[in-house]
Homo-oligomer: A and B are copies of this chain.
Amino acid sequence: MKKSLADKIEQYLKVLIDRSEEKQIEIQRTELAETFSCVPSQVTYVISTRFQEKFGYRTESRRGGKGFVRITRFTISSDICTINDAEKFFQLINELEENKMLDPKESSMLKHIVLSVSSTLKDEDRQHLYNSVARALNEYLNLNQ
């Protein structure tokens, strides 16, 4: 397969992430664009298509002077949580966020809390947690229009 520019940038970033201690890198969009002699929005394109949550990456960024894009690879260690349920729960939250039922902060707060709490539970309790939180959240959102 002939590698597109997007593929090359993707690979470049993934190598950087793999090599990094924290499985996390920070880049400057403009700088990276210069490295690959392309427009900055090309970098945005690569990040938004290849480094989504569903692929195990999270991104944050800051605009303005000394701005950056941070990409983190998160690994859900399969022995601690049943990927299936956590994943479905995350999916639900993401959907709700997309549909503007949840703000980004609310969304990330819920994810953090549920993930953290679930890690203290036994397998069957964990499953119950995802389920009951999802139902409670649904109920709350219905009650509040």
Contact = CB atoms under 8 A, between A and B. Distances in A.
Given A4-B66, A117-B133, A109 B106 contact: yes
A120 B135 CA distance: 11
Contacts of A3: 66
Nearest to A139: B116
A26 B4 contact: no
**Would you list the 10 A-B pairs with minimal beta carbon distance, nearest first?**
A116-B136, A4-B66, A113-B136, A112-B140, A117-B132, A2-B66, A1-B26, A120-B132, A117-B136, A4-B65
Instruction: Describe A's contact surface by its main secondary structure.
Output: helix
A37 B115 CA distance: 44
Contacts of A137: 109, 113
A140 B113 contact: yes
A88 interface: no
A106 B4 CA distance: 28
Contacts of A128: 120
A82 B136 CA distance: 19
A95 interface: no
Interface in A2-31: 2-4, 7, 26, 28
Contacts of A112: 136, 139-140, 143
Contacts of A133: 113, 117
A105 interface: yes
A120 B26 CA distance: 41
